[in-house]
Structure 1
Amino acid sequence: MTDNTRRSVAIERTRTGHFTATNPRGGTISFGTSSDPDGGADFTPVELLLAAIGGCTAADVDVATARHAEPTGFTVSVTGNKIGDESGNRMTDLVVTFSVAFPDGDLGDRARTILPRAVKTSHDRLCTVSRTVEIGTPVTATIADA
């Protein structure tokens, strides 16, 4: 792999059940465990997975449609069921639902026409996150020397 294909984040424990992920550009996001007794507004790792799936597809769809008309509303909902079985814990029945509105007129009509194809193309080819989940990619866990 080359430097232009490698993606990475560093995760640091900030306190029990709380972590901060930092990307190479300095962006951060905090997350934690759903069993955290303090509650809090942090995302869980599963919620981050759902956000990544929806966010990836949303970005693709936005690029394809916004060049024709600025949406007047654009939301994406991602749902799924967390289960545990003989294969371990995992998510099933993942669904990404778009609710997008465009202004009246020719440009809005064009964006509305493109919307279904943009969603399908993102799902079938472009969204790295959902493609990785659907195809399945082995994950290796290692321990570095401290």
Structure 2
Amino acid sequence: MAEDTKRSVHIERTAFGRYRASNVRGGQLEFGSGEDTDFTPVELLLAALGGCGAIDVDFITARRAEPESFTVTVSGDKIRDEHGNHVTNLDVHFQVAFPDGEAGDAARERLPQAITQSHERLCTVSRTVELGTPVNAHGD
């Protein structure tokens, strides 16, 4: 059987500058233009980068030990230049602590490799950004 590769979200305008994204599983996410507390599209991009890596790293390291703390901070500079608006200097920073003991030591030892493996091979989001995949925009 062929693998289903298609992914999609549906975005609906709910008010001026406010939108709701829905996925095929029924999940919904509100976002906007930055006039309120909702995430902006750029912040969603940063969250997608960090979230994708977090899932990979968590799945790899938690096999050895459950983390005591696990945070990912993602940052970048939103600029406008001759290429238009875009984000530069993307940085994904992991801060993960494991318990003392043999299992925690094994997880700590595996952490750097897990981060590298996620970035260089596993994380679809960062791989797509790094590879520079073209985007087709069109309307009816």
**TM-score w.r.t. structure 1 length?**
0.93
The answer for the alignment partner of 1:48 in structure 2 is 44
SS in structure 2 of the partner of residue 30 of structure 1: strand
* CA-to-aligned-CA distance 1:50-97 (integer Å, 9 cap, x gap): 000000000000000001100000000000000000100000000000
The answer for the alignment partner of 2:98 in structure 1 is 102
The answer for the alignment partner of 1:32 in structure 2 is 32
Counterpart CA distance in 1 for 2:55 and 2:42 is 20
* Counterpart amino acid of residue 86 in structure 1: E
Instruction: Work out whether 1:64 is the aligned partner of 2:52.
Output: no
**Shift of the alpha carbon at 1:3?**
6.6
The answer for the alignment partner of 1:80 in structure 2 is 76
Instruction: Work out whether 1:92 is the aligned partner of 2:88.
Output: yes
Instruction: Work out whether 1:125 is the aligned partner of 2:125.
Output: no
**Shift of the alpha carbon at 1:31?**
0.4
SS in structure 1 of the partner of residue 100 of structure 2: coil
**Shift of the alpha carbon at 1:12?**
0.3
**Shift of the alpha carbon at 1:114?**
0.3
Counterpart CA distance in 1 for 2:92 and 2:133 is 20
SS in structure 1 of the partner of residue 90 of structure 2: strand
% identical equivalent positions:
61
CA RMSD of aligned residues (A): 0.9
Aligned length: 139
Q: Which runs of 5+ in 1 are unaligned?
A: none
* Counterpart amino acid of residue 106 in structure 1: E
SS in structure 1 of the partner of residue 48 of structure 2: helix
Q: Which runs of 5+ in 2 are unaligned?
A: none
SS in structure 1 of the partner of residue 111 of structure 2: helix
Counterpart CA distance in 2 for 1:7 and 1:101 is 33
Counterpart CA distance in 2 for 1:69 and 1:77 is 22
Q: Which runs of 4+ in 1 moved over 6 A?
A: none
**TM-score w.r.t. structure 2 length?**
0.97
Instruction: Work out whether 1:138 is the aligned partner of 2:106.
Output: no
